[in-house]
Structure 1
Amino acid sequence: MRPVASRPDPVAIAVAPNGGRRTKADHPALPITPDELAHVAAASLDSGAAMIHVHVRDRDGHHLLDAEAYRTVTAAIRASVDERLVVQITSEALGIYRPEQQMRVVLEARPEAVSLALRELLPDQTYEAGFAAFLETLRREKITPQIILYTPEEATYLAMLAGRGLIPFDNVPVLYVLGRYAVGQTSRPADLLPFLAPGTAAASHWMVCAFGNQEAACVTAAALLGGNARVGFENNLFLPDGTPASGSQDLVAATKRSVEACGLTLANADTLRGQWDAA
């Protein structure tokens, strides 16, 4: 493990308020519409968030990758919080979209930032050249990618791609997912350790998301070890004491309290942008 005794840089909290799977049947406050997402963006900003990670839905509430829908929701969030939050869209497939469709919607939407699941965009080695070309376009267009990694083996694969010159960023930001999407999934802080074990490729700018009511504990452990935090209804509906949260902003606030209780400070959107530029 690569411990960090103290970190000079502040901790960025991202809010992920909806995801592509949950509905209002899971929680009535789960935001679906642009106006609802704009509302939770403002509330999460006030609670300590520096970034919002957004999914959009079709008319039936199903997961959607659509450039116009992303432009609409981004405009609503910007009208609510201006540039005070980084707005990150997802390219997540959910088993519906092919890699070329995922990449196309990102280039059409032209977001500030996007999350990219390595296993979805590189289902096998024949996709490597296309993925490298896509990342080069993102670099030119100043769209910040964040690579989603579900296992330490994926971190090693990403490092290998970088070593072969296929990742046109010096230190691309990554998101470590602690656990997996499954009914009853609960992550624990120890789930982070394999990503930080000796011999596992290190990332300069990394973030963690987790499932269940130990979410705040997981991301606080990450913060103490040099990482950043992503919390929200996408992966968790409960406060650390096990009671239901009223909204994703409550989970941001709980994380803020936990991180600051450890003597760490929080990043704002401009600080996060600067960290990405320096990575």
Structure 2
Amino acid sequence: MNDQITLQAALNGGRMHPTVPHTPEELAVEARAAVDAGATSLHLHPYDEDGRETLAPEPCAAALHVVRSACPGIPISLSTSADIEPDPEQRYELIASWTELPDLVTANQGEKGIHELCELLNERDIGIEAGLLSLEDALIFVASDIASQCVRAMVEPLDSNPDDAVVHAEAIEKTLDEAGISLEQVHHGDGIASWAVNRRAVARGHAIRTGLEDTTVLPDGRPASGNGELIDVAVSMLAENKP
């Protein structure tokens, strides 16, 4: 088991919830609440003035600046998802133009142009969280031999059924283990299934992620008040599994 288990708060994304933050100021409030609850890392998606997720340098810099001021010393990860910018060349150019750099980014390994993007990220000294959304992504990741350039692997099955998500997470983990990839693993899922994935991961000594990007509900299905409450539950889960 890791000496210090990462607990990452994924603050926003495209999910609908009354407290999902979009502006830098809203992100700072939710980030502070998550850190106060016990988050040791933050993941966020900047938005532009039209309310759309963006990789443009100005909104990214603004979000990073305000959140860093609110949560000094906490590592911040941005998304590079093709859902934000599907054109791999345009995505590359936008990230190459960033003026304020995050500590980390997620780089989904099944996306077109991701290996070229990872080269850029390494050149810019930005840590890579390898996004493994499926078993196929894990196999691509293993075959690419890019693990040595990454900080951690994000095991993130998207199955809506909790049992299916747990089986999928297990298959991704097994693929990494059999390939001898010893990166820190951060596990999470989607919706209510995220809690089942978290629970299995904690029992196996892995890091976990939660937040309004991943789920808007608590393990019993009740709506969460915000990122702080979701992190509270994750902290309790980690505490229950301490040796």
Same fold (TM over 0.5): yes
Summarize deviations over 1:159-201 as a string: whole Å, max 9, x none. 2111xxxx38355422111225xxxx34443332111336753
Q: C-alpha distance in 1, partners of 2:162/2:83?
A: 21
Paired residues, what number? 237
Deviation at 1:215, TM superposition (A): 2.3
Q: C-alpha distance in 2, partners of 1:86/1:187?
A: 29
Question: 1:256 pairs with 221, 235, 238, which one?
Answer: 235
Query: Does 2:227 correspond to 1:237?
Result: no
Q: C-alpha distance in 2, partners of 1:232/1:186?
A: 18
Summarize deviations over 1:17-60 as a string: whole Å, max 9, x none. 111x22xxx32111111001001111100111111111122333
1:190 corresponds to: 167
For structure 1, which runs of at least 5 residues remain unmatched after alignment?
1-6, 265-279
Question: 2:34 pairs with 44, 52, 60, which one?
Answer: 44
Q: C-alpha distance in 1, partners of 2:2/2:88?
A: 38
Deviation at 1:96, TM superposition (A): 4.1
1:34 corresponds to: 24
Moved more, 135-144 or 194-203: 194-203
- Structure number with greater CO (CA < 8 Å, separation at least 6) is 1
Please tell me whether the aligned partners of residues 211 and 235 of structure 1 are also in contact (alpha carbons under 8 angstroms).
yes
1:46-195 pair list within 5 angstroms = 46-83=36-73, 85-94=74-83, 96-109=85-98, 110-122=101-113, 131=116, 134-162=117-145, 167=146, 169=148, 172-180=151-159, 185-188=160-163, 189-195=166-172
1:16 corresponds to: 10
Question: 1:207 pairs with 161, 183, 186, which one?
Answer: 186
Please tell me whether the aligned partners of residues 212 and 227 of structure 2 are also in contact (alpha carbons under 8 angstroms).
yes
- The letter for the 1-side match of 2:144 is L
Cα 1:95/1:258, change in 2 over 3 Å:
closer
Deviation at 1:93, TM superposition (A): 1.9
Summarize deviations over 1:110-144 as a string: whole Å, max 9, x none. 3211111122234xxxx75xx1xx43443343210
Question: 1:224 pairs with 185, 197, 203, which one?
Answer: 203
Deviation at 1:77, TM superposition (A): 0.4
Deviation at 1:236, TM superposition (A): 0.6
TM-score (ref. length: structure 1): 0.77
Please tell me whether the aligned partners of residues 107 and 118 of structure 2 are also in contact (alpha carbons under 8 angstroms).
no
